[in-house]
Chain A
Amino acid sequence: MEIENETLLKISKLEVVYYHVSTAIQGVSFNVSNGQIFAIIGANGAGKTTTLRAISGFLGSDNAYITDGDIIFMDQRLNGYPPHKIAKMGVILVPERNKVFETLSTEENLRILFSSGKDQKKREEKIYEYFPRLQERKHHLAGFLSGGERQMLAIGQALLCSPKLLLLDEVSMGLAPIIVSFLLNTLVKMKNDLGLTLLIVEQNVAAALEISDYAAVMENGRIVFDGTPQKLLGHEDVREFYLGIREMGEKSYKDVKQYRRTRRWWG
């Protein structure tokens, strides 16, 4: 796997506030290199989804604003751009909820941007190659697809927008393990075929660490730890809190001094 060291996405000291009152994330900084699979893991409410939405420009509808920090994609500052402009630049988000157009059929969903042209036909074929299940459900309304099929459709739709950076929010949520591994493997395949960069947010830590090249742990709106998957897997507290592997005896949350000491603050 050739990893070019050029930084595709640079987040520095990002801060997002909801309802003009509640800080959701603060001081978030990390870099994503070209061709990398970068994973952000953490519990519910840690701020992972907020980060993704800030990057993709999705924030405005929730009475949320970026109050500090920069999002720099390919040397361009993305703060404040409308979502469609960010999408045109090649940053595509597959959201956690409302990820497809439910009243349109599968086929119409895929054809949302362009419906004709030779190029389009070929690219549609490719999507059906990756996800044969979608071909079977071509004319069904997207609202009636099962969870796994919906996710496939969402990813397929995202791919048709020619992404350079694909943001995936909790791809594995609510899906059977066999479909999760299928999806993640297909994602790696796509990444290699099309030269994508992936930024995935996951609660399924084991699966995420399996496919990623680099990962960061978010807690309470801050990034508290980052490193290669091996480093994370080797860390005692990551094992305990995110993988459920308990080493010796009972540990109380109060005793977790080690975790706090090795916690590094970015920004």
Chain B
Amino acid sequence: MQFLISVIVLACAYAMLSAGFIVIYKSSRVLNFGYSDIVIMTAYLAVTLTQLITGPPVIALSISVILSFMFGLVIYALLVKPMASQPIFSTIILTVALGIVLYSAAVLIWGGKAEYISFGWRAFYLLPGGSTVASTEIVMIVITVLFFIALFNFYRFSEIGKQMRATAENTLLASQRGINIYFVTSIAWGIGIFATSVAAILLGGNYSVSLHMGPVALKAFAVALVGGLDSIKGAIPAAFIVAMAELVASNYVNPRLANAIPYVIMIIVLLIRPWGLFGTKEEIERV
């Protein structure tokens, strides 16, 4: 039972992390390789805000995620938009460079100390069967579920979801059909960074905030790949698969192997079904 809870918690963490990645890919076809650095940055930002702002941490955290949303808009306006006509590859390198800048900034500002985020509610609950669940873990599960429901409905019941896909596929045509590509894509980046920030905060509350959060974010990439790089609903089963595999390997085989598991799964997926569980087949080949 305890094992199941750990799987659920880890799966939520992975799903939440991959959401930010997927939203950005869905609208710009950009693989945000600076992702781990953005996680670090937003996490540290939340830490500082909770320390500066008095009152229940919820306020500080809410401000933190809103700021992250705006940060996403800024990233789009300054970095992604000017590169709209270049091959996607250049934009990806740009995200890496951005990641480098953010990482250095994080080191400069916060000095690489590990910090903790408090949600203002510390408790442990005893479940029938003898296993425990921490308040932070409950928060993570609840927020992840709510977030995914909201995101999924956002894409389903608004045209923006379709428009985002269209923009990602053929930006020029989308623009010529009256879709304001700047608006659509900047919203996507805003949501993406917002999601990243939420994930970073949840991680920070459950584990810690440090410069070593990076590799975790990379696993989110593997999760996104398994579920389909542009599929929101694919992230959840993928997160479960990866979390389950990793914890099984960690508990029953060899803890060091657990770190490699997400990558192994990634390679398997690539060999069998590159577009993941629910992703769209990007290249429809027709001569």
Task: State yes or no: do A and B come from one complex.
Answer: yes
Cβ proximity bits B72-103 to A, threshold 8 Å, 1 near / 0 not: 00000000000011000000000000000000
Name the distance in Å between B26's Cβ and chain A's nearest Cβ: 12
A111 near B: Cβ within 8 Å? yes
For residue A104, which residues in chain B have a CB less than 8 angstroms away from its CB? 162, 165-166, 169
Interface stretch (choices B30-38, B132-140, B234-242, B277-285): B277-285
Q: How many A-B residue pairs have CB under 8 A?
A: 86
Contacts of A36-76 to chain B: CB distance below 8 A: 56-58, 60-63
Name the distance in Å between A102's Cβ and chain B's nearest Cβ: 5
Interface size class on chain B is: 20 to 34
CB <8 Å contact, A112 and B179: yes
Name the distance in Å between A49's Cβ and chain B's nearest Cβ: 13
CB <8 Å contact, A82 and B182: yes
Residue of B nearest to A60 (CB): B85
> Which of B162, B169, B179 is close to A84, meaning CB atoms less than 8 Å apart?
B179
For residue B280, which residues in chain A have a CB less than 8 angstroms away from its CB? 103
B224 near A: Cβ within 8 Å? no
Contacts of B139-176 to chain A: CB distance below 8 A: 159, 162-163, 165-166, 169-176
B180 near A: Cβ within 8 Å? yes
A114 near B: Cβ within 8 Å? yes
For residue A100, which residues in chain B have a CB less than 8 angstroms away from its CB? 173
CB <8 Å contact, B169 and A112: no
CB <8 Å contact, B176 and A112: no
CB <8 Å contact, B176 and A93: yes
CB <8 Å contact, A98 and B284: no
CB <8 Å contact, A84 and B180: yes
Residue of B nearest to A162 (CB): B178
B181 near A: Cβ within 8 Å? yes
Q: Please measure, in the bound complex, the distance between the C-alpha atom of A112 and the C-alpha atom of B84, giving whole angstroms.
A: 21
Contacts of A105-132 to chain B: CB distance below 8 A: 108, 111-115
Contacts of A207-245 to chain B: CB distance below 8 A: none
Name the distance in Å between A229's Cβ and chain B's nearest Cβ: 29
CB <8 Å contact, B173 and A87: no
Q: Please measure, in the bound complex, the distance between the C-alpha atom of A88 and the C-alpha atom of B176, giving whole angstroms.
A: 9
Q: Please list 28 pairs of residues, one from A and one from B, whose beta carbons are closer than 8 Å in the complex, sorted by A's number.
A: A56-B176, A58-B176, A61-B84, A62-B85, A82-B175, A84-B181, A86-B176, A87-B175, A87-B176, A87-B177, A88-B178, A92-B176, A98-B173, A99-B173, A101-B170, A101-B174, A102-B170, A103-B280, A104-B162, A104-B165, A111-B159, A112-B162, A112-B166, A112-B177, A113-B177, A115-B162, A144-B284, A161-B178
